[in-house]
Amino acid sequence: MLALLDGVSYAGLLFLVALGLTFIFGVVRILNVAHGSLYACGGYAAATLGLWMGQGGDSLAASLGALLGGALLVGIVLGTVLMLLLRQFQDRDPILQLLVTFGAFMIFEDLQRMIWGTQPYFVSDVVNQMGTSELLGVVYMNYQLLFVPGAAVAVYLLLQWFLRRTLMGRQIVAVTHDREVATAMGINAKRVAYLTFVVGAMLGSLGGALASPTTSLVPGIGADMIVLSFAVVASAGLGQISGALIVALMIGLARSFCVYLMPELEVVMPYVIMVLVLLMRPQGLFTVAQARRI
Amino acid sequence: MRYTIYGAVALSVVVLGLAAAFPWLKLPLILALCYGLAALGIVVLLRAGQISFGHAMYACIAGYVVAYLSQRFPHLDGFALIGLGTLASLVAGMLIGAFVVRYREIFFGMLNLALSMVLFTLLGKFYAYTGGTGGTDGLRVGRPTLLGVELARNGFETALLVLVLVCSLLVIWGVQRYFRSSAGEALMAMKSNEMRLEYLGISAKKLLWQGYVLSAGLCGLSGALFGLSQGLVTPEMGYWLRSGEFVFIAILGGSGHAVGAFVGALLYEFLKMYAAVLVSGAWQLLLGATLIVIIYFLPSGLTGLLRKRRAALGGEQ
């Protein structure tokens, strides 16, 4: 039971980060390796803001505000920086674009180490403020039980609504399908790309912010997270939003069951799932087959 | 061919000259050449338009095989250790390659990264056998005999330097032959259009697999030599940052010629030596920023300059 709840909570985080990654890929066709450092920076920023605000008064609203505010701020700033950088390399080889994000990732890793040091950060005010609840005889923290999965589902529904019902969202979908035709129809693809990048970056750092109260922040979490969320995105199929939700749940649950049954294999589990999925369906579970271009 | 000879002669003169003038540079030079070998492995893939963020795992595998063998069989010769270490990487490359060559670009790069992360975490977890993460407490590698000759520290380093240099020159020659062979040229064609390649009746998968095994072997050779010269292997040998360094050198050197990787590696090693003094905390930052600058101004690396010059001379050769 504990494993189940742990898994759902973990899956919520994983989904948020993977969603950002897959969303950006869908429109810009770039796998943003620096997404891992967005996650890390989001976490650090939220923790710092939480510490800073915690001195004034420790209400739940303030802590939550710190979490979300930190995430959004980091997302907007770093998302813009990355977008401007990548725009310089728009027409280059895709491999080189991938390398540019890799370079950016290295820069961010060091910057983050310079700003926040190598000591682990741990801010858990929010968790305590939300209290605990008992479920089938197991005491569980409300934060992990309700808030994180709730946030993930809310983001998912919001994004679906945005993509299907609003003009901007539909433009994004159009660009995802075919950039050339969309541009011919009068859509400003540049603006769409910018917006997507910022939204995707915000999702990544939101994941980090939500993770910060329950995990300690140490250098290197960015690298772990980018690989993990890539595992989710690749298993689901690049650009698949609903698929990412299902696979995140799958990997989250498998991982937390692993923690209880075979702790040695915990870290390897997500990759095993990814490898199995890719062996059977090389394009990912939920991808619609695409014609190869000659 | 002419460039291969020029490059090889220049490389040996620079390396041996520096080692003779400044004996303390011997170890850095060995390490630089090791990096060059591994980066050449990345260059092979780069020519096919693929990139791997996890090739340090092959260096790591070879390094650990060398360390294990030297502990289990202390009388094994250095050459045997290097050969067996490289062989282990080749076999690993064949197996992993059979799986990853089905993927391209992002999938290819990230799958390699994922596999190397798995290896790195496992090595860290089972620290009872591997020495764990932490830098100082890896697996020790004893100093083996070379062709039956037992050497003191200084002599061993000199012998190793010559050995690494000879290996590098042979590898440059061999890889350049491979690049010019029909398989190598077809590998290059994969980058521009894989579909057409298949229409010509060439299996792209098989082609990439060959390239992948070659690159794994090169990284393995580098790792085996690296382990011997350091006298210590740690899981950090397989960390993604190391793979990133290989990629960096490959991009710096460019994929135009096999010598490029070694020129890039020498430059990189000296940059690192000075940067470590000047900006100790911001090494990654400097690396990342330089990577972006190189891609912006010199997308085909140092050997790209060579090709430009050749084009300016009116395409002789």
pLDDT in tens, A7-24: 777 788 888 888 888 888
Q: What residue in A sits closest to B291 (Cα-Cα)?
A: A103
Write out residues 24-63 of B within 8 Å (CB-CB) of A.
46, 49-51, 53
pLDDT mean across residues, chain A: 75
The pLDDT confidence band at residue A107, using thresholds 50, 70 and 90, is confident
**Stronger pLDDT, A235 or B216, i.e. the higher one:** B216
Residues 6 or more apart whose Cβ sits within 8 Å of residue B128: none
Query: What is the structure's pLDDT at A45?
Result: 79
Cβ separation B122–A98 shorter than 8 A: no
pLDDT in tens, A250-293: 888 887 777 777 776 677 777 778 777 877 776 667 766 554 44
Q: Does B287 touch chain A (CB under 8 A)?
A: yes
Write out residues 204-263 of B within 8 Å (CB-CB) of A.
240, 244, 247, 251
pTM above 0.90, yes or no: no
Nearest CA among A32, A30, A48, A200 for reference residue A108: A32
The pLDDT confidence band at residue A129, using thresholds 50, 70 and 90, is low
Interface probe with B: pick from A32, A92, A96, most Cβ of B within 10 Å:
A96
The token pair that represents B74 in the structure block: 């202390």
Query: What is the structure's pLDDT at B135?
Result: 44
ipTM for the assembly: 0.72
Query: What is the structure's pLDDT at A205?
Result: 82
Query: What is the structure's pLDDT at A165?
Result: 82
Backbone angles phi, psi at B138, to 5 degrees: -90, -160
Identity of the residue numbered A63: S
Query: What is the structure's pLDDT at B54?
Result: 84
Query: What is the structure's pLDDT at A28?
Result: 76
> In chain A, what residues touch B195 (CB-CB under 8 Å)?
292, 294
Q: Is the pLDDT of residue B134 over 50?
A: no
The token pair that represents B167 in the structure block: 């290996």
Cβ separation A107–B113 shorter than 8 A: no
Query: What is the structure's pLDDT at B315?
Result: 46
